[in-house]
Structure 1
Amino acid sequence: MAEETADDYLKVIVFQLKEEEYAMEVDYIQSIERMQPITRIPGVESFIVGVMNLRGVITPVIDLRKRFNIESMEYNEATRILVLNKDNSEIGFIVDGANDVMDIPASKIEPTPEVVGGVAEEYLRGVVKLEDRLFTLLHIDKVLNKNNEEKRTVV
């Protein structure tokens, strides 16, 4: 069996939403911030909680619980804002807690099961099982794309 090289690993940050662990590539993460004042903006998608002034940069903030239709909870000491840099824009993701930075072997990323509790499958890149931990790898482009919203028709 061939040895895995550095290219065969994906460096991710593991974070918490409810009791579940999720991961995203650390390459997108610019910083991890404690909760801070957020200014609400009227007329935006419900999962966009507003904007924050982060070191002079106005940064939109998305609550991932709302984005994934997971029940809301009060922000607390463990709540963090993951600040991503995507296409030269900063975006903040509110999560319940940021747990680890780790390297995962690419070979450990498995396809997303057809039935996934809570988070819409289109937001997911796969699942990773390492030792006794199981976490879901997010597809950042799809999380940020508002066209992924389910189209509901009221009859």
Structure 2
Amino acid sequence: MLEPTSSKTENQSQPVPSGAAQVESSEFLAFTLGSEEYGIDILKVQEIRGYESVTRIVNAPDFIKGVINLRGIIVPIVDMRIRFNLGTPTYDQFTVVIILNINNRVTGIVVDSVSDVTTLSPQQIKPAPEMGSILSTDYLIGLGTLDDRMLILVDIDKLMTSSEMGLVDHIVAGA
């Protein structure tokens, strides 16, 4: 039993091949807003639900649609189309709510539709270009490229911990 411990120590002193730690791929849930396709880290997704009516909160910004009661938890619902100024949202049979669990805080985001889970290697993720006022690059991981398809990869942690999302917490706490 002592021998494996000593060989473990020997292995630690050997150089690790460059790039060996970066070969892990990441999985993203792909969804659409308008004509664009976005992706968020699948590990942040708790569940996907059909869109249902919400309880509106007085004095909440337009992008906060309201709250729902999800198995005893009050969950704020943010409409991403309104949040990103992507035109007037329409709610149909494809509209879904992605329930996220970020830092033990449950929030729902309304998107036009969800397509699939996509695996991207680090080589398939390119830095995000400056996108002006539509979407701050502060909230972007980059652009995921797959053959003829491109995903705008959203850093949902940064987006949901921004000052605007802190407002969501304040409104829900007062509800």
TM-based fold match above 0.5? yes
Q: Report percent identity of matched pairs.
A: 33
Gaps of 5+ in 2: 1-17, 166-175
Task: Please give the TM-score of this superposition, normalised by the length of structure 1.
Answer: 0.86
User: In the alignment, is residue 37 of structure 1 matched against residue 53 of structure 2?
Assistant: yes
Residue in 1 that maps onto 2:148:
132
How far residue 81 of structure 1 moved from its aligned partner, in angstroms, is 0.2
Q: Secondary structure at the match of 1:12?
A: strand
Instruction: Please give the residue correspondences for 1:1-155 in structure 2 after superposition, counting only pairs within 5 Å.
Output: 8-115=24-131, 118-147=134-163
Q: Secondary structure at the match of 1:115?
A: coil
Greater fraction of residues in helix: 2
Question: Which protein is bigger by CA-based radius of gyration?
Answer: 2
RMSD: 2.3
How far residue 27 of structure 1 moved from its aligned partner, in angstroms, is 0.3
Does the C-alpha gap of structure 1 residues 116 and 125 become closer, same or farther in structure 2, counting only changes over 3 Å?
farther
How far residue 7 of structure 1 moved from its aligned partner, in angstroms, is 5.5
Gaps of 5+ in 1: 150-155
Q: How many pairs align?
A: 148
Does the C-alpha gap of structure 1 residues 6 and 123 become closer, same or farther in structure 2, counting only changes over 3 Å?
closer
Q: Secondary structure at the match of 1:98?
A: strand
Tell me which stretches of 4 or more aligned residues in structure 1 moved more than 6 Å. Answer: 2-6
